[in-house]
Structure formats: C-alpha cells, structure tokens
Amino acid sequence: MAYLLRILLFIMYLGILATILSALSFISLPVGHIELAIPSMLYIIFIQAFTMFYFIGVNRLVENVHGILHSGANENLKELFDNPPGDLTEYIKKVNRFHYLTKLAKRQTIPWTALILVLGSIGFLLGGAHHTGLVDKTVHSGVIYGFFVAVTIGFIKQWSYLGKDHKVLKEIKDLFQIPHHQM
C-alpha cells in the first residue's frame, strides 16, 4: 500500500507542477491551467485523504497491539498469541518502539496534509475569484506559491514516512506472525 501511495503522491506532485508551470506559461499544454486545476484539486483531496488514513490506520493497529500488551490481562493476549509467552519484555520493548515511530509519522505528516488541503482549497477558490475579477492576481498567486511550498515539504515528509511506516508494519506483522496480506 505504501508503494501505491508513493506513486499516487508523485502523480499528484506532477499534476500540481504542470498546473503551475502552465499558469506561468513555462510550458504549453493543449489545455489551460484552469482546466488542469479542477481535476488536480479533486485528485489532491483524494490522495491526501488516502495518505492520511494510511498513517492513522497503521498507528491504530500499533496502538491496539500496544494496548493489549500493556493491559496485563491474559485473555487479551490470546488475540496476539496462540500460547502467550511468560515474559513479554522483548515484545513490549519492540512494540513501544513501533508505537513511538507510528505516532511520530502521524505527527509529522498529518499537519502538512491539512495545510495542503486548506491552502489548495483557498488557492483554488481564489483562482476562480481572480478569473471573475473579484481579487487581484497577486492574492491568488501568493496563496498558490505558499501552497506549492507546503506541497513540496509535505510530499517529502509523506514519502519518507510512508517508507518508515511500511517497514514498521512489516516488522509488527513478522513479530506477531500476522499474514502480510492482512492489515
């Protein structure tokens, strides 16, 4: 899933780049930047939501495992083990690290996702307002430049943490012998 999300994020970034370069007349395309902005914005909403829920989902899985290990109730351990071991120290140590890493990934990516969505939506609406004469071009352009900076930083963080969370997901599945085709 992380690899698919990386590909989709890269397509998003290319779409945004094409829209901005077309608006600045650096590239010539058969359609204008307005025609590119509409599907690009819809795609941004889709991929950012999808990416955000991936980070939330991986963190939720790790939090559930963390909660079971720290509950102290043997009946809950049956959810993770056929025969629970007597000493859970190594499991707890590893899961604590996984818990920290997935919370970190969530904290480092979701604020950028929110900023991308907010600035993108405002920039999109201001673009419509500019083309109908309601706001000056500098207002629309300024928000779009800020949006592009947020997208660039967010893209780098999301790309990086998708790889890290994918590794954590693989490690926790290996630790508890969860089949890899299951979340």
Domain hosting 122: range is 2-175
In a domain, 182, yes or no: no
Mean pLDDT across 89-108 = 93
Mean pLDDT across 25-44 = 89
In a domain, 135, yes or no: yes
Mean pLDDT across 79-93 = 83
In a domain, 127, yes or no: yes
Task: Tell me the pLDDT band of 27, cut-offs 50, 70 and 90.
Answer: confident
In a domain, 157, yes or no: yes
Q: From residue 110, how far is each of 125, 154, 179 by CA, in Å?
A: 22, 9, 28
Separation between Cα atoms, residue 62 and residue 172, nearest integer Å = 8
pLDDT at residue 17, as a whole number: 94
Cβ(62)–Cβ(178) under 8 Å? no
- 109-144 burial, b at 16+ Cβ within 10 Å, e below that, comes to bbebbebbbebbebbbebbeebeeeebeeeebbebb
Separation between Cα atoms, residue 65 and residue 84, nearest integer Å = 14
What's the whole-number average pLDDT of the chain? 90
Query: Based on the structure, what is the number of domains in the chain?
Result: 1
In a domain, 34, yes or no: yes
In a domain, 66, yes or no: yes
Mean pLDDT across 157-180 = 90
In a domain, 180, yes or no: no
pLDDT reading at 88 higher than 80:
yes
pLDDT at residue 73, as a whole number: 67
